[in-house]
Amino acid sequence: MSVPLSVIALVGGIQVGQAVDDKRRSGYKIYTYEQTVPIPSYLISFIVGVFEGRDISHRIRVWAEPSMVSEAEYEFANLAEKLFGNYVWKRCDMVVLPKSFPVGGMENPCLIFLSPTLIVRHFLQSTFFIEHISFASSKCSFVYTAQQLVLLYNAGHRLFRLQTGDRSETILVIHEQVHAWWGNLVTNARWGDMLNEGFATYFEQRIGALIYGEKYRQFSGLKTWTSILMPMRKICCWNKAKWQTDALTSAFTDENVFEKFNPNHPFTQLVQDQSGGIDPNDAFSMIYYEKGQVFLYYLEKRVGQEEFDACYRDYLKKFAFKSVDSLMWKQHFVSFFKSRPQLLEDIDFDVWMYGRGMPPLKPEYDYSFF
């Protein structure tokens, strides 16, 4: 890739060369990259701009605009490569993009794209939220339940954006790194499927528990159930506190999938039929992420974490560098436990995978942490 000397070309691969471009007018440089690991076409990535890089491990470098690179290095320096096992892509660099980047992150092999909102601080807004909730609590004489505390947390996070700059948003980076296995190594055969995002979200929470403790995972799961999966009418009916404003109420359901689709909509299925010209972007929602991870958490509890982990490791080994769908994953899961059918007794895969609306069962979250 030939670019002006004033900028840097970053590509999702391994850099193997850098030289002056003799075939063009002066002032250009050629960057050469190679990608020896097979990848789906949607994961081809490159970016050209004014960046500085800081190494945070022997295979991870954070790239950002010069004014942000120090903060970016600090924000992500605690990510331990040992959490992710054998990483086949060799490099796991990250680039913090300009503010125009429209999403939180993208899991490109060797070069993860990240939003700058992960490191931008909002002290005043966070302080306002804390004072607002404190004032409201002093005016109300009732005790918050665990679910209500989750709602308050979600309201503050969505309305005022809890303070970053304290490594509190690195869980999103973990999510993108988990995609190195769930999405990049083993890839969805089609978009109307939970495999990529469901597994990435499930293991994001598993790794979050290793870093922050099991209470993080339990709280995150309960927050998902309450603020994303639970239908709006059930969330907004909680209104014991008269101080609750319309803005605060809307924050409870800001990410709620039932704002986009009604509870009986086919796009609330984990496995969807998107034939007939359906645009996958129209069907995309948090269903794949959150309903998917609830399903996997349920399966983990049914078979036990040790057995569940043995199953997914075998799955990754068997389907590496292949495209699969949920039916293939289900067949592998059932086959893995064929000698112990009692572990799968009464698990209705069809209801979980093809059922609409809320998951058929609520996981048993541990409320003792709250």
- The rounded mean pLDDT for the chain is 77
Indicate which residue of 71, 73, 169, 176 is catalytic: 176
Percent of the chain beyond pLDDT 70?
74
Confirm whether 176 is a catalytic residue: yes
Q: What is the pLDDT of residues 35-44, one digit of tens each?
A: 999 988 999 9
Look at residues 217, 214, 207 and name the one whose alpha carbon lies nearest to residue 178.
Answer: 207
Question: Cα–Cα distance between 289 and 252 in angstroms, integer?
Answer: 18
Confirm whether 345 is a catalytic residue: no
179 belongs to an annotated ligand binding site: yes
Question: Cα–Cα distance between 293 and 224 in angstroms, integer?
Answer: 10
Question: Cα–Cα distance between 202 and 217 in angstroms, integer?
Answer: 10
pTM: 0.78
pLDDT(159) > 70: no
pLDDT score recorded for residue 24: 72
Backbone φ, ψ for residue 17 (5° rounding): -165, 155
Question: Cα–Cα distance between 208 and 217 in angstroms, integer?
Answer: 7
Kindly give, in sequence order, each residue whose CB lies less than 8 Å from that of residue 294, ignoring residues fewer than 6 positions away: 221, 224, 225, 229, 359, 363
Q: What is the pLDDT of residues 261-299, one digit of tens each?
A: 777 888 889 999 988 888 888 888 888 999 999 999 999
Buried b (16+ CB within 10 A) or exposed e, 224-245: bbbbbbbbbeebeeeeeeeebe
Q: What is the pLDDT of residues 116-125, one digit of tens each?
A: 877 754 333 3
Q: Work out the average pLDDT over 17-24.
A: 83
Indicate which residue of 31, 202, 289, 365 is catalytic: 289
Query: What are the structural domains of the chain?
Result: 2-121+162-180 (3.30.2010.30), 181-237+252-369 (1.10.390.10)
pLDDT(208) > 50: yes
